[in-house]
Chain A
Amino acid sequence: MTLPRSLQGRLLVLVVGLVAAVWLGTAAMTWADVSHELDELLDSHLAQAAALLVVQQARAIDDDEDAIDAPTLHRYAPKVAFQVFHEGRLAMRSANAPAQPMFEPGEHLRTGFRTVQIDGVAWRVFAAHGGEGHVQVYVGEQVNSRDSILWAVLRSMLWPMVVALPLLTLAAWWAVYRGVAPLRRLGHTLAARQPQALAPVVVEGAPSEMAPMLDALNGLFTRIAELMETERRFTADAAHELRTPIAAIRSQAEVARGEADAAQRQHALDATIQGCDRASRLVEQLLTLSRLETGAAPAFAPVELSALVRRVVAELAPLALAKRQTIELDAPEPCSVPGDATLLAVLVRNLVDNAIRYSPPGSVVKVTLASRPGRALLKVDDSGPGMDAPDMARIGERFFRVIGSGQSGSGLGWSIVRRIAQVHGAAARVGRSDTLGGLGVAVEWPSTR
């Protein structure tokens, strides 16, 4: 049997079904018990009656009268019959008793119970004998009379049930309805919510069974609210971050428009283009970050890290050379990590680009890729000014840039690096470079070989 889908229906079916089952079970037990007791009682009555007849016969009937038909005295009487034989001859019988002994002739003169068929009707018969074996008495009773008594008993049990069950169903319905009211209230509360409402749900009089569900739900709401707050702040911060480059572009463009001096105008136009580059770099970083935050997990394939690092360093080397910096790469052996090649290139580019950007002209940038059993370690060290402890603690905050660095970075680079590392199960650490004294960044992967 499939239960109804509503909790209310389910509880109702279970409660009413169980009550009915228990009731029926009780009725069955009562029936068995009553039928046993009834058999004993009625059998003892048969025995008693037979004994009376035997005694009476032994004393009173001496003459050889014809068999006497006893009158019917009670409406139950047709269901009861007796026969009295005296020295093998029928001396007395009830109106409904046959003339022949109720037992087989061969089994005369014995005492005991037996159920026999007489004219297709089942009889419970007690046979008794007495008076020095001259008197043989049979007392019988139709079996169906016992059944009707049993049914009467059972009916008296079942009738109240038939009446009570609908009432009980109604009562159970009401009780269950009251019981699941907090659930219904929760449903209404949730349905009436605005999509943006993320305050905890409070259900008046919620039972303790609902507490784990409510806690889980409210926990979820809290997490969603935090996520939305992060997103909101990110969007706001991103918009603010874009304002400064746009303001710079605008002011430089206005200067170029109003400038009579050709060299000055050229300077302003160059600065305008520089500002556009910066703004588009920022937008690109924002997009990368937002893809990382919301996108599905990237498909991983083995990536040859040393080749990738070499490519990125080659790409960025002109930048370092333009600042008269020395850039070195030490990646002696191939090193493969599972990952997304595009993202890993973004990570390496960010690290190397940052090192070049934030180190003064003439400094050294060193990129090292070391492969240990099961690990790959990428280190980017520079001989720049490094960072003090409070700055290092804040570096993960979006849009935090080390102020006074004189660089117009967005402060998003480290967020991107950390996020990509996280996606790849790699650990990214930033600290003081132990070899060059500037900033040292280390990213460690679990490698495939």
Chain B
Amino acid sequence: MRILLVEDDPLLGDGLRAGLRQLGFLVDWVRDGEAAERELRAQPYAAAVLDLGLPLKGGIEVMASVRRAGVALPVLVLTARDAVPDRIRGLDAGADDYVVKPVDLHELAARLRALVRRAHGQPQECLSAHGVTLDPAARSVRQADGPVTLSAREFDLLHALILNAGRVLSREQLEQHLYSWGEEVESNAVEVHIHHLRRKLGAGLIQTVRGVGYVLPKDSAQP
């Protein structure tokens, strides 16, 4: 799951990035409001962690402006301001969650997963389609005949496909889900990972739409 971290404090930003990475997130970190707005408009992040007291452009402004631009991703506001009016202002400006510093990294991760799940209309923590169950918190995948071992990239790819079940995702879109900044993207990485997933989970799960991309068909059992 690729998220954008917006935090101007170097030490905290560094810690959050490292911590969220440990917990399986792909984290891009920006330190000011203008960069945050630019990235949020340009990249399909699964969610954003947003500080409010930001240089160049305040967090509230950033949120209001990306919401106006139609960016619907879940935003978790992480701030030192805990007064009720501050919370109300933050939520009204378009935040989906409001967390006061300091925060437990596991809790932050859980909140982010919950936000992403809800944003995709998934009521349950575990995602499942066609007999494959994916647990984002444990980063584990099961099939009817037992657990399946996936690499981190394979897991992220499957996660993106299941979350967007029924929607065709292009190779570029999938790459954006798989790599944060500074990571080398091999030219045929997506194809390789798809190939591995098909081998481990069965060939019929992920379908190729020639010239467009890949799709995990909506489970007929699911609404």
Contacts and interface: CB of A to CB of B under 8 A. Distances in A.
Interface residues of A, number: 27
Interface of A: 240-241, 243-252, 254-255, 258-259, 264, 267-268, 271, 274-275, 278, 403-404, 406, 408
A244 B12 contact: yes
A251 B15 contact: yes
Given A255-B19, A255-B105, A403-B55, 13 more contacts: A244-B12, A245-B11, A247-B102, A247-B103, A248-B14, A254-B19, A255-B22, A258-B22, A259-B22, A267-B18, A403-B32, A406-B10, A408-B10
Most buried by A among B10, B12, B105: B12
B22 A248 contact: no
Interface of B: 8-12, 14-16, 18-19, 22-23, 31-32, 53-56, 78, 80-82, 100-106
Nearest to A246: B102
Given A244-B9, A251-B105, A268 B80 contact: no
15 contacts: A244-B12, A246-B101, A247-B78, A248-B9, A250-B103, A251-B103, A254-B106, A255-B19, A259-B22, A267-B18, A271-B14, A275-B11, A275-B15, A403-B8, A406-B31
Contacts of B54: 403
DSSP class of A's interface residues: helix, strand, loop or mixed?
helix
Contact of B104 (A241, A254, A406): A254
A404 B18 contact: no
Given A241-B80, A251-B16, A404 B55 contact: yes
What are the 5 A-B residue pairs with the smallest beta carbon separation, nearest first? A251-B15, A403-B55, A247-B102, A247-B101, A248-B12
Contacts, number: 88
A248 B10 CA distance: 9
Contacts of B100: 243
A258 B21 CA distance: 11
Given A248-B9, A255-B105, A408-B10, A271 B15 contact: yes
A147 B81 CA distance: 96
Contacts of A278: 11
Contacts of A404: 8, 32, 55-56
Nearest to B16: A251
Nearest to B103: A247
B12 A258 contact: no
Given A247-B102, A404-B55, A240 B18 contact: no
A248 B15 contact: yes
Most buried by A among B22, B53, B81: B22
A276 B15 CA distance: 13
B200 to A, nearest CB: 24
Given A240-B80, A243-B101, A244-B80, A271 B32 contact: no
Nearest to B53: A403
A278 B15 CA distance: 15
A240 B15 contact: no
Contacts of A268: 15, 18
Nearest to B14: A271
B110 to A, nearest CB: 13
Nearest to B55: A403
Contact of A247 (B12, B18, B53, B55): B12
Nearest to A405: B55
A243 B22 CA distance: 23
A247 B49 CA distance: 14
A264 B100 CA distance: 26
A258 B11 CA distance: 17
B19 A408 contact: no
Most buried by B among A247, A274, A406: A247
Given A240-B80, A241-B80, A251-B105, A264 B15 contact: no
A406 B10 CA distance: 7
A369 B204 CA distance: 80
B55 A251 contact: no
Nearest to B9: A244
B11 A408 contact: yes
B87 to A, nearest CB: 14
A251 B81 contact: no
Nearest to A402: B55
Contact of A251 (B8, B19, B53, B80): B19
Contacts of B16: 251
Contacts of A249: 102
Contacts of B9: 244, 248, 408
A414 B12 CA distance: 24
